Structure 1
Amino acid sequence: MQPALILMSAEHADFLLDEFGRYARDYDLHTATDVAGAEAIARRIREKGGQVALFVSDSAPQDAPVFEAFARWRQVVPTARRIVAAHWSRFLTDADSLRAGLAKGKFDAYLLMPRGVRDEEFHTAVCELLSDWGSTVAAPEVDTVQIVTPGGDALTGAIRDFLDRMGMPNRVYAPDSDTGRAIVERYDGEPAYPLVAAMQRPPIAPRTVRDVAITIYGQPADIDVEAVVDLAIVGGGPAGLAAAVYGASEGLSTVVLEAEAIGGQAGTSSMIRNYLGFPRGISGMRLAQRARNQAIRFGTRFFTGWEVLALEPGADGAPHVLRTDGGDVRARAVVVATGVSYRKLGVPAVEELTGLGVHYGSAMTAAREMEDYDVVVVGGGNSAGQAAIHLARFARSVTILVRRPGLAETMSQYLIAEIEHSPRITVLPCSEVVDGGGEGRLEWLGVRDTTTGDVRRLPARGLFLLLGAEPHCDWLPDEVVRDAKGFVLTGRDVPRERWADGLPPANLATTLPGVFAVGDIRSGSMKRVAAASGEGASVVPLVHTWLE
């Protein structure tokens, strides 16, 4: 059964059916003339085990307001994307009343119904939403990576999360399935699960996510040991990606070393709605992969899955050396863009279940496995809000725990408004996780009220921890000065006694000549995707000046 598109309009249903005819090969198209009819169609599809990918409504249904229509449909199919396609006779008159709902996440796009053939602006919006649905809800039709394992385990979950963040379709197969047996037969030796078959290469039995990354992307030793690159970037988040695009496009030989998946923390965001130029929002994974492809187009080389262990400063004009387990990279200039990692919860009973219901970050793969379960998100920042909204499409309930009295101090208003609108999301202020457990995986959490000290037990199939920022730069030498919290100091933030000739380093320059810092790792940074991208672009002129 193909996924369904449900098109609802009292006057224009036939027109919409004709307009959406280009999707008939890959989707089942259904029309309704009222809200109740569309709801009935959706229920029948769900009862038969099918999926609804998209609801399209005109701006003035006859039997219910459009906001009520989407709320009713969302109860039936919470994962479907939602479009208002207003007829041109009503587009302007209905816009003011409907756009407030758009800001609260009541629907995903407000579009003008096409007035002629080949309205590609309209269909670009449709395709973006269907692509987002396909990458976060539907199982892939074609898998680039096959994983064979007899049951769920933490390593398989971590591998799938890495692959999802890298935009690589993947699927898990049982060892006794046809695909599973074929992969086991190709494996050289006694199989140890999970087995991973990727990119038409021989299957491997990885012990870490890095083993999978190396299989797909290679290692730094592949770089000619005699070569010295102009620019080595450590970290593939928004700041590092922007530096790679601008550096490579301006003729610098550029290498990016990323310990995990391209995109960093931003790459785990299910939907970034306030990034300039994307009015319908964009997932962190898509933003990261587009930037990666853009950088590759200009000649950047990426090495994924390799942590930089040390930076050895170059002396007397010699290049800096970045040490990894897989090889060394020598570079005339280094940009540190390693970002930050989520702070650990520190509750032993909960930490033992990491990967078995407990996840650091939003864990896009795990979200699909939370259907009809209760989940908890810990954190009050934008990443936590985005994770909660995404999880609410699958989970029976989502509870956000914050130690503060509310979300207003730490989260953007557009996310707070969307959370308040969602009937599945509850915010528990002045609360913290102090215990947890289950038979082999997470089943419950102990939550303490920080004002009274009372502890209560909450059912929880999933716990998603987004606990704030810790720098990841212990590998840097002492010549790079950091603040009391471990973030890298740059520019005028550098202590005056470390200035040269009475002048501070350049804005994004560190105390080690030829080494720069951008994004979340930099002391005083804004901790926003747009700010990190801006710093990544801004550092390239400083690199040019240094190289000259």
Structure 2
Amino acid sequence: MGRVMPALILVSPDHAAELVDEFGRYLRDYDVHATATTAEAEALAQRIVDDGGQVAMFVAESQLPDAHVLEAFGRLRAVVPTARRLVAAHWSRFLADAPALRAGLAKGKYDAYLLMPRGVRDEEFHTAVCELLSDWGSTVAAPEVDSARIVSPGPDALTLAIRDFLDRMGLPNRTYSPDSEEGRLVLASLDGDPVYPVVQSLDGVAFSPRSVREVAIRVYGPPSEIDESTVNDVAIVGAGPAGLAAAVYASSEGLSTVVLEAEAVGGQAGTSSMIRNYLGFPRGISGMRLAQRARNQAIRFGTRFFTGWSVTELEPGAPGEPHLLRTDGGDVRARAVVIATGVTYRKLRVPGIEDLVGLGVFYGSAMTAAREMEGADVIVVGGGNSAGQAAIHLSRFARSVTILVRRNGLEATMSQYLIGEIAYNPRITVQACSEVVDGGGEGRLEWVTVRDTRSGTETRREVSGLFLLLGAEPHCEWLPDAVARDRRGFVLTGRDVPSERWTEELPPASLATTLPGVFAVGDVRAGSMKRVAAASGEGASVVPLVHTWLDPGT
């Protein structure tokens, strides 16, 4: 029996022949269906879902006979929340219909407004289509080809953490049960009795990791690859947007550059399902894709990445000598160091909740876990952009999503475009002046207790997922005292450094710390904006300062 291909449903009362012809290039990988009305498309989508199939995208003309196109998308979204939605306006209607539809695009009622192709090889049109299908494929569909296989009898915390790491690194992966055909093949190649989960990575060798770090080292190289005799021009600690931008600009300008990342490339931004306000990506871009593109760009210029290795200590070099970064896999020496470790989400510190981390409780958006929440009720705690992006992504799968915030609302902490999308989304509600104070379950999360901070009233709610995005704590315990920090632990740079620590009555340069040759960029820096674009900008801006440090005569 052949595989069931996902569907592309065209809603086109007047130009179906032209659209079917355009979408003919996708027939190898998708079933393309043409309908004339919203009702027909709705009925067809329901039949496909009832038969166990998937709808990847709805494509509609801007004028439909039986519903306004935004109403049509609302009805179709109710049937298939995960499908991407695209308006392909005929050239006779493109300019006339755009103003009225633009507000709906900003609120997330659909994903793109495009001009229907007027001739062959309209690659701008198809680039947009492919981007949307790629986004759907990476967040909804199971991969057709898996670069890594995980064998596990059930969803446990480590299995989910490994899947999340592989997803964030852009490596297609699937999880198989031990008694499946694929699972038995993986286990047959294992040396010894299985200890689950078992992972088979790119080299085809199966092993039983006890941590995500072991998977990272197996996929991206053993510690022996560090050449401790080499003195690098610059070592960047952290591969979030700031660290990646610093790597691209430093290596493109000829500096020997290494990046040390303890977890997955991309940092917190890499967990975002869709960043819509990043310059140059009008249809948005997922954090994973942005991070992997930046990583590949840096590698092209010669940057070396060491993924899965935590820096445990920065040992300052004597004047004229390189700094030393200590890791479990060896020491890295560099004449300049850029701290770009970002932040981690603040812990809730509720014992019943902490015991279930990875078992229905997640710090961060945990995109991988979203698929596990189909038909469930979930809670997102946090009022920042990351929380808003997580809630929107979860709403494609969960029956309901509740955003809990301690403030009176989202306006003070979240971008307006996300607030608009949330307000429109019928599956998302915002509960202000609330906090989670307890939770539990048999083996995984089943309930939480929510307290109203105004009245003190506590309510028990049955939920399957709790996603905690509680603000930022810096990861700076590995830094020496010579690097000044504020009372919250964020690294001080430039004029934020107390005057008693200035040199010759002059503050350090804008992104320089109190330790010569050491710089800080992105969210770890005190006073940073906590936005992806700002972090990227700081990563680029630090490179001229590094140049000046390495060669004071420039």
The alignment's TM-score, normalised by the length of structure 1, stands at: 0.99
Are the equivalent residues in 1 in contact too, given 2:84–2:110 (CA < 8 A)?
yes
C-alpha distance in structure 2 between counterparts of 1:291 and 1:520, whole Å: 18
- Give the letter aligned to residue 324 of structure 1: T
Alignment partner of 1:2: what SS? coil
C-alpha distance in structure 2 between counterparts of 1:448 and 1:111, whole Å: 46
Q: 1:217 aligns with which of 211, 215, 220?
A: 220
How has the CA–CA distance of structure 1 residues 219 and 505 changed in structure 2, closer, same or farther, with 3 Å as cutoff?
farther
1:459 aligned partner: 462
Where in structure 2 are there 5+ consecutive unaligned residues?
A: none
* 1:504 is aligned to 2:515: no
C-alpha distance in structure 2 between counterparts of 1:358 and 1:33, whole Å: 44
Residue by residue over 1:256-280, the C-alpha shift from the partner in whole angstroms, topping out at 9 and shown as x without a partner, is 0001100000000000000000000
**1:135-214 equivalence runs, <5 A:** 135-214=138-217
- Give the letter aligned to residue 370 of structure 1: M
* 1:45 is aligned to 2:27: no
Are the equivalent residues in 2 in contact too, given 1:257–1:307 (CA < 8 A)?
yes
* 1:318 is aligned to 2:321: yes
Residue by residue over 1:177-203, the C-alpha shift from the partner in whole angstroms, topping out at 9 and shown as x without a partner, is 122112112111121111111002421
C-alpha distance in structure 1 between counterparts of 2:501 and 2:224, whole Å: 35
C-alpha distance in structure 1 between counterparts of 2:222 and 2:550, whole Å: 26
- Give the letter aligned to residue 104 of structure 2: G
- Give the letter aligned to residue 72 of structure 1: R
C-alpha distance in structure 1 between counterparts of 2:219 and 2:47, whole Å: 42
Q: 1:307 aligns with which of 290, 304, 310?
A: 310
1:248 aligned partner: 251
In the TM superposition, residue 538 of structure 1 has moved relative to its aligned partner by 0.3
Residue by residue over 1:470-528, the C-alpha shift from the partner in whole angstroms, topping out at 9 and shown as x without a partner, is 01011000000001110000011111111111111111000000000000000000000
Are the equivalent residues in 1 in contact too, given 2:107–2:417 (CA < 8 A)?
yes
1:345 aligned partner: 348
2:444 aligned partner: 441
C-alpha distance in structure 2 between counterparts of 1:498 and 1:434, whole Å: 42
C-alpha distance in structure 2 between counterparts of 1:523 and 1:155, whole Å: 33
Are the equivalent residues in 1 in contact too, given 2:226–2:329 (CA < 8 A)?
no
C-alpha distance in structure 2 between counterparts of 1:322 and 1:93, whole Å: 60
Alignment partner of 1:367: what SS? helix
Q: 1:117 aligns with which of 102, 120, 132?
A: 120
1:336 aligned partner: 339
In the TM superposition, residue 219 of structure 1 has moved relative to its aligned partner by 4.2
Residue by residue over 1:287-309, the C-alpha shift from the partner in whole angstroms, topping out at 9 and shown as x without a partner, is 00000000000000001111100
Residue by residue over 1:360-397, the C-alpha shift from the partner in whole angstroms, topping out at 9 and shown as x without a partner, is 00001100110100000000000000000000000000
Alignment partner of 1:231: what SS? strand
Q: 1:372 aligns with which of 354, 363, 375?
A: 375
C-alpha distance in structure 2 between counterparts of 1:284 and 1:217, whole Å: 20
Residue by residue over 1:421-440, the C-alpha shift from the partner in whole angstroms, topping out at 9 and shown as x without a partner, is 00000100000001111121
- Give the letter aligned to residue 441 of structure 1: R
C-alpha distance in structure 2 between counterparts of 1:166 and 1:306, whole Å: 15
C-alpha distance in structure 2 between counterparts of 1:18 and 1:513, whole Å: 63
Are the equivalent residues in 2 in contact too, given 1:219–1:327 (CA < 8 A)?
no
Q: 1:71 aligns with which of 71, 74, 81?
A: 74
C-alpha distance in structure 2 between counterparts of 1:546 and 1:225, whole Å: 22
Q: 2:490 aligns with which of 487, 490, 496?
A: 487
Q: 2:434 aligns with which of 422, 431, 434?
A: 431
1:468 aligned partner: 471
- Number of aligned residues: 548
- Give the letter aligned to residue 452 of structure 1: S
In the TM superposition, residue 223 of structure 1 has moved relative to its aligned partner by 2.2
1:294 aligned partner: 297
* 1:14 is aligned to 2:17: yes
* 1:517 is aligned to 2:517: no
- Alignment RMSD, CA only? 0.7
C-alpha distance in structure 2 between counterparts of 1:382 and 1:438, whole Å: 29
Are the equivalent residues in 1 in contact too, given 2:217–2:223 (CA < 8 A)?
no
In the TM superposition, residue 222 of structure 1 has moved relative to its aligned partner by 1.0
- Runs of 4+ aligned structure 1 residues displaced above 4 Å come to none
2:363 aligned partner: 360
Are the equivalent residues in 2 in contact too, given 1:508–1:518 (CA < 8 A)?
yes
Alignment partner of 1:75: what SS? helix
In the TM superposition, residue 125 of structure 1 has moved relative to its aligned partner by 0.3
Alignment partner of 1:279: what SS? coil
C-alpha distance in structure 2 between counterparts of 1:499 and 1:170, whole Å: 51
- Give the letter aligned to residue 330 of structure 1: R
Are the equivalent residues in 2 in contact too, given 1:219–1:303 (CA < 8 A)?
no
- Give the letter aligned to residue 346 of structure 1: R
C-alpha distance in structure 2 between counterparts of 1:190 and 1:372, whole Å: 36
C-alpha distance in structure 1 between counterparts of 2:372 and 2:102, whole Å: 32
Residue by residue over 1:37-58, the C-alpha shift from the partner in whole angstroms, topping out at 9 and shown as x without a partner, is 1111101101110000000000
2:543 aligned partner: 540
1:412 aligned partner: 415
Alignment partner of 2:495: what SS? helix
C-alpha distance in structure 1 between counterparts of 2:89 and 2:10, whole Å: 12
Residue by residue over 1:12-66, the C-alpha shift from the partner in whole angstroms, topping out at 9 and shown as x without a partner, is 1111001100000000000000110111110110111000000000001011001
Residue by residue over 1:115-139, the C-alpha shift from the partner in whole angstroms, topping out at 9 and shown as x without a partner, is 1000000000000000000000000
Alignment partner of 1:309: what SS? strand
1:237 aligned partner: 240
1:25 aligned partner: 28
Residue by residue over 1:194-234, the C-alpha shift from the partner in whole angstroms, topping out at 9 and shown as x without a partner, is 11110024211101000000001124541222111111000
Are the equivalent residues in 2 in contact too, given 1:488–1:522 (CA < 8 A)?
yes
